[in-house]
Amino acid sequence: MLRRILTPLLIALSTLSLTLVGTTATAAAESAERSQALRQTTLYYDSGQAAEYIDDVSAAVDVWNASVDNVRLEPAPAGQRAEIRIIADDGWPRAHLGPVRPGGQVTVWMGRQGTAEGHDPVRIAAHELGHSLGLPDTKPGPCSSLMSGSTGGVDCTNAEPNAAERARVEAYYGSGAAGQRAADGRVVVDRV
């Protein structure tokens, strides 16, 4: 008799405890996601004047978004001021040196001289966005260093930041650091 009463009760209590553990794990995961979202800085870019480089800029944005966690680049919604403006022109590629902060603004110029000389446009876009995120040139440098820019050579198509470059951008953004260091504001011209 006691077994008939206790068995269903123990089953119910076991089910309840498993449900609570599952709920706690789900809540912990949701809390971690919210915490990451609070640490992550979102910067908006406008490639509306990037002309023939729009797809290259989009690919470079994808590279940065896949490479770092503390900052995310998103297209600026219509009517919203972008922190990063991307413009095609006939000069050499260049950019303002960041790190840009929400509400600030820097410009990337996708200079046609770089691609006319044979440099990869996705690498150029990723490199110039790296300046906007606070990375200086590291010249001369190997192709494995995104911020070596044109010194990587015209055959270099590496658009991925290396570990040191990723770590530096991660340190500039997120974890409450956004706003602690203003953009440098200098224009970096990527010429050897």
DSSP 84-108: EEEEEESS--EEE-S---TT--EEE
Judge contact between 78 and 44, C-beta under 8 A. no
Dihedral sign from CA coordinates of 176, 180, 186, 191: negative
The mean predicted confidence, pLDDT, of the chain is 84
- Angstrom CA distances, 127 to 63, 70, 174, stand at 11, 18, 21
Q: Render pLDDT for 22-59 as a digit per residue (tens, 0 to 9).
A: 555 555 555 444 444 457 999 999 999 999 999 999 99
Distance CA 192, CA 182 (A): 27
Has residue 84 got a pLDDT over 90? Answer: yes
Please determine, for residue 14, whether its predicted confidence score (pLDDT) is greater than 80: no
Q: Which of 83, 117, 128, 160 is catalytic?
A: 128
What average pLDDT does the segment 1-17 reach? 59
Q: How far is CA 13 from CA 8, 10, 65, 134, in A?
A: 9, 5, 45, 55
CATH topology of domain 41-189: Collagenase (Catalytic Domain) (3.40.390)
Give all strands of the β-sheet with 84-89 in edge-to-edge order.
71-75, 41-49, 84-89, 106-111, 94-96, 187-189
Please confirm, yes or no, whether 33 is among the known catalytic residues: no
The answer to which of 46-50, 77-81, 98-102, 179-183 has the lowest mean pLDDT is 179-183
Tell me, what's the pLDDT at 173?
Answer: 92
Condensed to tens digits (0 to 9), the pLDDT of residues 101-148 reads 999 999 999 999 999 999 999 999 999 999 999 999 998 999 999 999
In the chain, where the domains are located: 1-39, 41-189
What pLDDT does residue 68 have? 97
DSSP string, 3-22: HHHHHHHHHHHHHHHHHHHH
Please report the DSSP string for 154-174 in residue order.
TT----S--HHHHHHHHHHSS
